Amino acid sequence: MDADIIRVEPVPGSPALIRADQLLTDAPGMEAAARWTAAASEADGVFRLRLAPGVDVCDLAATVRERGHRASPNHVLTGQPLFFGGPASRPFPAAPVPAPASARPPDDSPVTVAVLDTGLAEHPWWRDSPWFTERLREIAEVPDADGDGAPDAQAGHGTFVAGLVLRSAPEARLHPIQVLDGHGVGDEAGLLRALARLRDDRPQVLNLSFGYHTFDDRPSPLVEAALGALSGTAVVACAGNTASDRPFWPAALPGVVAVGALDAAQEGRAPFSAHGPWVDACARGEWLTSAFLEYGAFGGYARWSGTSFAAAVVSGAIASAARDMAPQEAVAHVLDPRRTRKISDLGTVVPLPG
C-alpha cells in the first residue's frame, strides 16, 4: 500500500482509506479552507489541498460542507477484489474462449462503454479494433508495473472486465481509461479527472468496477456531482466484496446501478458480496472466465471472482439493450422484474448471456 494512504475511523466500526492530509473541494470550499492549507492544485474545477501539519482532514471536510461547499477527503478507491480476501482474491489460468461474435464491426456500433479500471492489455479479441489501437499508449496494461519481479495484485483486472463486457455486448466500442494502478488502487482525485474527460464524449454506459467506503458513510458530493453531469449515461458500479450492507460508493449513489455477486450456480449471494437495499442488480460473480494477460501460466484467459466482474456482466447487458433504445430505457429493460427474478438485498438477477 502507498505510504501516504492512511486508515481513518471517525465513526467506530466504519473505517475508510484516504490520502493523508489531502482535501478535495470546489473553489468556494478552497477559500473556506485557506487558513488550514499548505499548498493547492486545481484540475477541471476540483481543488486538491495539501493541509498544514496537524489538521484533521475529516473534521475539515465536515466543516467545509457545513458552510455549504462541496468537500471530501481524497478517499482511496480499490478494485474489487482487493483487501477483503476470500475466493475473489486472485485469478487462475483458463483455457482459451472463442471471441464474442458480433453482427457488425464494433467501430460501427452506436454504443460505447467506458471502462475506468487498470487499463487494457493487447488481446486477440480486440487487438485489431481501431478503438483499441488509437488509445494503446495511454491505456496499456502491464503485468509488473512496479518492477518487483512479481505480477501486480490486480494486473489484468481491466482486461478481464473488458472481456466480460464484450461477451454480453460484442458489438460495443470500449473506451478504457486507467484510474487504478496494477494493485487496483486509485483515489477520488483521479476518478474526478477521468469523469471530467468524459463530459465532452459521453459514453452510453460507464462501468466502475471499484469503489470505497467514506469516512462518514455519506457519498462524496464531488463524485456525486461529476456523475450527475453525465446525463444520458447509464452508470454501473460494483457493490464491493465486503460481505456487508455498509454503503459502498459510488455504487450506493441514487441513479447508479449497484451490482452484487451471485454464486456460480446463479442461485444465491456469493459469500463475499455486499448486499442491502441500495443494491439494484446482481449477476454471477464466482469463477467467471474472460480475457486476461499473456504472462507466466496465463495464456490470455483466466477464471476470477468478485463483484467487479458481476458489474461488468450487467454493463454488457445494458450496452446490448442500448443498441435499440436510450441508455436509461436499457437500464429499465434489463432490471425489469417481470423479465427475471429478484433476490432480497441483491436486486434483479441479470443472467449471463447464453
Cell numbers placing 64: 467545509
Catalytic one of 69, 75, 123, 157: 157
For this structure, is 117 an active site residue?
yes
Contacts of 167 (CB under 8 A, 6+ apart): 100, 290, 316, 353
> Which among 228, 260, 241 is positioned nearest to 87, based on CA atoms?
241
Cell numbers placing 89: 482474491
Count of positions (residues) in the chain: 354
Predicted confidence pLDDT, tens digits, the chain (354 residues): 577 999 999 989 999 999 999 999 999 999 999 999 999 999 999 999 999 999 999 999 999 999 999 999 999 999 875 434 444 468 999 999 998 886 455 556 689 999 999 999 999 999 988 888 877 666 788 888 888 988 888 999 999 999 999 999 999 999 999 999 999 999 999 999 999 999 999 999 999 999 999 999 999 999 999 999 999 999 999 999 999 999 999 999 999 999 999 999 999 999 999 999 999 999 999 999 999 999 999 999 999 999 999 999 999 999 999 999 999 999 999 999 888 999 999 999 999 987
Own/partner pairs for 119-123, CB < 8 Å, 24+ apart? Answer: 119/158, 119/159, 119/176, 119/178, 120/158, 120/159, 120/162, 120/174, 120/176, 121/156, 121/158, 121/159, 121/292, 121/293, 121/294, 123/159, 123/163, 123/291, 123/300
Residue extents of the structural domains in the chain: 5-75, 79-349
Look at the pTM and tell me if it is higher than 0.75.
yes
Domain 79-349 in the same topology as domain 5-75? no
> Which among 203, 250, 240 is positioned nearest to 346, based on CA atoms?
240
Asked if the 79-349 domain carries CATH number 3.40.50.11540, the reply is no
d(CA 199, CA 229): 7
Sheet with 234-238, strands from edge to edge, namely 173-178, 112-117, 205-208, 234-238, 256-262, 281-284, 347-349, 342-343
Does the N-terminal peptide bond of residue 250 adopt cis geometry, omega within 30 degrees of 0? yes
d(CA 121, CA 266): 29
State residue 83's pLDDT score.
Answer: 39
For this structure, is 308 an active site residue?
yes
d(CA 230, CA 256): 11
Catalytic one of 168, 209, 305, 308: 308
Catalytic one of 26, 117, 181, 280: 117
Q: CATH assignment of 5-75, given 3.40.50.1110, 1.10.540.10, 3.30.470.20, 3.30.70.100?
A: 3.30.70.100
